[in-house]
Amino acid sequence: MLEALSRQITTLVIAASSLFSSHVTPIFDNCSYHLQDNVLVFSGRIINCYTKDIDQIMQSGQEIVLEFTYRIHEQNHEMPLHMNSETHSIKYDVVDRFFTIDKTESRENFIFLDFSEAKQNFVLLEVLDIQHIDFFEEGRKYYFEVTAYLHSVYLEEMEKNIELMKYWNNKSPTYRSPVFSIDDLKS
Amino acid sequence: MKLPSFKIQIIVIMFILLVLLGLLTRYFFMTQFNDYSQDITSLNLYDKVHNLYSKHKDAIDKEEVSPILTDINKIELTTYLFRKDMTLYSTLYVVISGLVVLMILLIFLTLITRPLNRLQADTKKIAAGDLKVRVRESKFSPINGLIVSFNNMVEELESNRDKLLQAEKDLMWREMAQVMAHEIKNPLTPLRLSAQRLEQKYYNKSSDFDKVFTDSLEIMNEEIDNLQTLVQEFSKFARMPSANYTEYNLNDQIKEIVKPYENQVDVQINLQENMPVFYGDKMQMKQVFVNLIQNALQSIKENGRISISTRYEDSKFMIIFKDNGEGIKDEDLDKIFRPYFTKREKGTGLGLAIVKRIVSQHNGTIKVESEKGKGTRFTIIIQLGTSHYGCNDSLPKTDGIRKVRKEYQ
């Protein structure tokens, strides 16, 4: 009886602490932007973004979609001048036991046997085309924002929807560039 | 070590019980659920099917086995997530339900303890003699019935006290009327006899008329004086002015009062130093002390000694008057404070009645101890700061108490 109670108290404490620990706050890391063939490109990756639950869902064979949305703003303007998005999707082949990652920005597929490598690659943005240089006008200042969003996973037949964003505290990681002009990009 | 309040004790006990109950409930449900979910995962369905596929790769189409393995994974995933959610939600359930029950308990206890505190405070007032107090009713409190009954009881007490007071008053006035009639009748007899004697001597042209006239006139004047004294004392007793409370030093007052008596009798005073200021009617208290000293003087024969002492203990003033006079008989001790009770030829019987009345007005008590032939001891006890209680409403009651207490501290 006492043993059961002490076990319950321990579980209760763990569960109470899991209220806080089962969520993470992802952020963009190692971000950079530059001109590449007259196109403004962005590269970076998301860190602190995986939880045990997300790992479990990834390994279950369900497709997980990570959407990157980018917006170009003129300085001091809330309304974006341009907006677009690219997606990364990861799916585990339950029969042959490998991970396939599709990245729309590069129109490429990557295959990984190692789960850790697959996770690293899934959140990596190597070259994200933001906009062609012709878009930017002389004498005006701009900045851009990149945000990431995890789509929910729907388990068919079970009619169960798993909201993945809850593991991110429903907060999308966002990168906001410094203000720049076309001359800054060219230099 | 001081125990926490009743409310805190109940809350702590209930909280512990609730947590234990919640944990047991959680334990029961989670054990059941974990057993089922462990059963599913321990089957290792995925590995079994995958091994089967690996062995018979040539015979089994990948497209056929893939949905099966995906479904198995779905089941294991949902079981895992459900178990996790259950752990979390059951914890939340224990915590939230515990808090809700605690809140309800707190409200319930407040509904009990608050009226109980009021009841306790008002009971103290009632114990101090204020029967006008009524405990405020609390409609939602479970003890409201008790409060209503209590108020009814106090109302009944007040009514009975009023009736008793009225009965006592009636009795006192009847006794006083009898005594007054007797006291008036006493001088009337010599007055009538003197008048009749004068009349007789006058009509008989008696030779000693002049002498009889002088003697009779003396008797009549003396009896008229007696009647006048009686009327004055009665008037003083009947029309005692309302008290005028002030703060003053009781010891100084006693020292001042005894001065004129020091030539007549050996007065010994033993006054406690650093007493707090007294709050009372200075004139009335003077009358108390003077009456007690005169009462002592009347009982002292030779080598008389009066000792007066003051003490302050437990927020109470204690004034003791002791004499080595002839003392009071045991059977008279109960009667000495009654109006017009006296054993002396010249006494009016109102002195000690006035003393008793003033002390009572100061919310105090007076006690008498006496031994025939050895002396008498009067002890007056008056509570600090409550001496004004039940008296003149125009007085700064609470301020007075606060001020006196402050100075004492």
How is the beta sheet containing A39-47 ordered, strand by strand? A27-36, A39-47, A124-132
**Shortest CA gap A134–chain B (Å):** 48
Q: Which residues of B touch A56 (CB under 8 A)?
A: 77, 80-81
Alpha-carbon distance of B241 to B359, in angstroms, equals 14
C-beta separation of A58 from A92 below 8 A: yes
Distances (CA, A) of B103 to A35, A112, B24, B234: 63, 55, 21, 67
pLDDT tens for the 409 residues of chain B, in order: 566 677 777 777 877 887 788 777 777 777 777 777 676 777 788 888 888 888 888 888 888 888 889 888 888 888 888 878 777 777 777 778 778 888 888 888 888 888 888 888 988 888 888 888 888 888 888 888 888 999 999 999 889 988 998 888 888 778 777 777 777 777 787 888 888 888 988 998 888 888 889 988 888 898 888 888 778 877 776 666 667 888 999 999 999 888 888 888 899 999 998 889 998 988 889 889 988 998 888 888 778 899 999 999 888 899 999 999 888 888 888 888 887 777 766 666 778 888 888 898 888 899 999 988 889 999 999 987 654 443 333 333 333 333 333 333 3
Interface test mutation site (partner A, options B56, B77, B86, max chain A beta carbons within 10 A): B77
Residues A56, B81: C-beta atoms closer than 8 Å: yes
Residue A15 at interface with chain B, using a CB cutoff of 8 Å: yes
Alpha-carbon distance of B19 to B28, in angstroms, equals 14
Residue numbers of A between 55 and 114 with CB closer than 8 Å to B:
56-57, 59-62, 93-96
Residues A62, B74: C-beta atoms closer than 8 Å: yes
Torsions phi, psi of A112, nearest 5? -130, 135
Alpha-carbon distance of B320 to B299, in angstroms, equals 17
Torsions phi, psi of B337, nearest 5? -90, 0
Q: How far is CA A42 from the centre of its chain?
A: 14
Q: Side chain identity at B130, as an amino acid letter?
A: D
Alpha-carbon distance of B120 to B268, in angstroms, equals 45
The complex's ipTM works out to 0.74
**Shortest CA gap A45–chain B (Å):** 27
Alpha-carbon distance of B271 to B250, in angstroms, equals 9
How is the beta sheet containing A98-103 ordered, strand by strand? A108-112, A98-103, A80-93, A64-74, A142-150, A174-176
The upper half-sphere exposure of residue B144, i.e. CA atoms within 13 Å in the direction of its Cβ, equals 8
